[in-house]
Structure 1
Amino acid sequence: MERKEFLKKGFSALTLAAFIPMIGCSGDTVDPETDISTGTTTGTGSSAEISSGTCTATASETAGPFPTKVPGSLVLDDITSGRTGNKLTIQITIQNKNAGCAALSGALVDIWHCDAAGNYSEYGGTGMQSTSYTSVHFLRGRQTTDASGLVRFTSIYPGWYSGRAPHIHVHVYNASGKSLLVTQIAFPEDISKLVYAQGVYASHGQADTTNAHDNVFSDGVGTEMPSVTGNVSTSFALTHTIVVSA
C-alpha cells in the first residue's frame, strides 16, 4: 500500500492497535505573517486557548505510520543527527488541563518528523517509503519537562510527503510512562512555501497538500498551530503549548 493511500484511508481500529506497543513506554529508561522583502517570517496560531481560568485540550491525532520504536533510548535535545535543512529550534510547553492549565513538570515528550526529502528514520524499503533508513534514528528525540513544563529541541524545518501537510508528531507521557496524548504540530503555509523554494528543499518542491486538505488537520488547527519565527537566511524558532489531561 502506498503511503498516500494509507493516509487517505486513515487508521482502522485494528491498525492503530498494532502500533500501540511500538509507541508505549514499557521498558524504556529515561535519564533524569511573512515579510518577503526581508525573508523574515512569523506565523502564529492559537495552540491553547486559555481564558477565565479554563483551557482547551490539544487535539488528539494518529501516531502513525512511522512512530518512534524505542523512544526511551533517544534522550536528546539536538535531534538533527546530520540531516541538512534550515535550523529549527523547538520549544514546547506542556500544561495540565486538570489543574487549570498549570505547567506539567516531569512529563516525557517525544517528537519525530521527516527530513527535507520527506523520509523518516527507522523505516523504509516498502511501498510506504521506498528509501530505507531502518538502521538510523534521525529527527527523533525525547526530553523531560522542567518546572515550567518546557522542553527544548534543536532540529531542522520538516519536509513534506505526498498526502500530508508539513507536521511534527508529539507523544506526551506522564513521569510514570502513562500515555497522556498523541498529537501533531502544523506549520504556517506561507513560511513553508518560502522554505521549500530554496536550499536542500528545492529539489523536492512545494508541498502537495494544504492544512485544509490534510486528512489530519482538515478539521482545524486551532490547538495545533504554533508560533514560528525566523527566516531562510538564518534559522527558525517554533514555540507551542500542548494541553493534556494529567
Structure 2
Amino acid sequence: MDSTSVALNFIELNPERSNTIILLHDLTGSLLEWEQVQASLVDYHLLIPDLPRHSGSRKVRPLTIRHAAAACARLIRDHAHGSQAFAVGISMGGFVALEVAHSYPDLVRAIFISGTYDMKRAFPKGMYALPWVSAFIRHFVPSRVDQEQHRKKGIMWSRAFTRDARANSRLSIVQQGAREIRHFDLSRLVVRQKTLAVAATRMDSVNEVAALVGVLKQGNVESTGAYVEDAEHQWNLQRPELFAAGIQAWFEHRDLPEEFRHLTTVETGE
C-alpha cells in the first residue's frame, strides 16, 4: 500500500485551538511517544500520527521518508487549521518534517527538530547503524529490563509505549528505517521555513547539527541551532517539559529556555 493513498493512524487534541502542531516520532516509536510532551502543549491544536509501518499505521507502506512526508502532508491538508501546521520531529521524524517542508512548503509554518543530522559523518565508518541495532535488540529484551535500562537514563515511558516500541523494533523496520536515514541527502534540502535544529549531547553530534544549520540557513537566515547538555537522544521522553517549552518558545518567537545553548557562529562555520 502506498502511503499517499492510505491515511496514517493519528490522534487529534485541542481542536478548538487556533494553531496546529504536527508531532513526528522517531524510528521504532509511535504516537504514544508524545504523551508527556503533549500535556504541556494544551494551547495548540495537535496532530500526532503513527508513521508508516509503525503501530496503528503498520499497514501503510512503504517506510520511506518521502512517502512518510507525503502521508503527513495529506494529514496537514485534511486536518490542520488552515491546512498549515508547525512541524516537530525527533530523529527520523525530523527527517520527515524537513522533507514535508521541502516538498510541500505551503503546508509548514516553522520547524523544530532534534537528533536529525548526517549519521554517516557523525559515526565512524560502518558504525552509523549502532543506534538501530540496539533498537532491534530491544525486541528480544524482557520489557521490565528494557524499562529499567531507560529509567536509569531518566527516560520514562508508559507500558503501552513500551509495547509499541518493542513491536516496532522488528528487523525489517529497523533495517529499512536505517537505510532511509543513511541515504537521505540533507544537503539537497531547500527549507524556506524558520527551523531550529537541536542536538542532545549524550548521543547527538553537535558538529553535524551545526553543519545542518548551515544548510538550513541557505533557505532561511533565521534558522539556527542549539544543544541541550546531558540530554539523551530521546529527550522528549527524558525532559518532556523542557522539550515542550522549547517548542513553544520557538514557534512563539520568544527567547529559548536557558538550557538551550546556542550554537555559535564558530560552531556553525559562519
TM-score normalized with structure 2 length: 0.27
Question: Relative contact order: is structure 1 or structure 2 higher (C-alpha 8 Å, sep ≥ 6)?
Answer: 1
TM-score normalized with structure 1 length: 0.29
Q: Which protein is richer in helix relative to its size?
A: 2
